[in-house]
Amino acid sequence: MNTSDESAAFRPLYQQIKEMIVARITSGEWSAGKSLPSEAEFARHYNVSPGTVRKAVGEMVAENLVERFRGRGTFVKSQTDEREHSHFFHVVGQEGKKILPATRGLTCARRKCDPETARRLDVPTGSRLLVAERLRLIQGVPIIFEIIMVSEDRFPGLCDILSEEMPNEMYPLYEELFGIRVIRAEEHLSAVAADEREAEALDVPLGSPLLEIDRIATTFDGDPVELRLSHCNTRNHHYLNVLY
């Protein structure tokens, strides 16, 4: 059954099946939370063995794209899932317990994209950029000063929405309103000194050490979606990372 059109097609069947299904998911054929066709149906449709479909779907499960339940079916995972809410949030309290912070919006402005930001977001220099600043509070105490940058061309009208009310979680918003799912993120962490504005906002002395999290969030395809710069007061909290 292997059609070797160009010499490039020597890839395992299950990977090709997987990519076709992934493409159909990202195209919106099955939206988040909806059930996919059964593995048997896929097998019939693609004219392969059930085991091959199973392996394809298995990889998608491993990549957090779908979820399987015995007796029920396979479902497209959503960023809005309870489990996923804090998937990208690694700041925890002293005991290692993750507490989702509240959010206070500060500003939301438009500006032209500088070359460096343009490069990182993969948009033209000078294109419209949306810059939102917000404060994240844990038990009422401001802990994180955050700057969020997205291309306004990718998120038309987002500025108005944010100006009205700054949501706590951005990624579910991107998914629900614009159909853009954040799947991966790359974070660059470093230590910086609090500037005047941050010192006031976070109620720390000027020059206090803050943990900087410079994050670029991307879709499944690796397209950059959002740049986010977080400055955290790690006096009573820290960033947890588990390696294995």
Q: Does 9 bind DNA (CB under 7 A)?
A: no
Are the C-beta atoms of 170 and 151 separated by less than 8 Å? Answer: no
Which element (helix H / strand E) includes 176? Answer: helix 171-178
Q: Does 33 bind DNA (CB under 7 A)?
A: no
Out of 40, 177, 206, 240, the only residue in the binding site for DNA (CB under 7 A) is 40
In the bound state with DNA, the residue whose beta carbon lies nearer, of 11 and 188, is 11
CA distance 210 to 230: 9
Q: Which residues within the stretch 43-62 sit at the binding site for a copy of itself (CB under 8 A)?
A: 62
Longest dimension (CA), the chain: 68
Q: Nearest CA to 229 among 125, 101, 133? A: 133
Q: Could you tell which of DNA, a copy of itself, none binds residue 27, using a CB distance below 5 to 8 A set by kind?
A: none
Q: How far is the CB of 188 from a copy of itself (least distance, A)?
A: 5
Angle (nearest 5°) at CA 156 between 224 and 111: 75
Q: Which two tokens stand for residue 138?
A: 């844990």
Q: Could you tell which of a copy of itself, DNA, none binds residue 54, using a CB distance below 5 to 8 A set by kind?
A: DNA
Instruction: Compose the 60-99 pattern: x for residues touching DNA by CB under 7 A, - for all others.
Output: --------xxxxxxx-------------------------
Q: How far is the CB of 212 from a copy of itself (least distance, A)?
A: 8
- Between the two ends of the chain, the Cα-to-Cα distance in Å is 39
| Residues in contact with DNA by the rule CB under 7 A | 1-2, 12-15, 36-41, 48-52, 54-55, 68-74
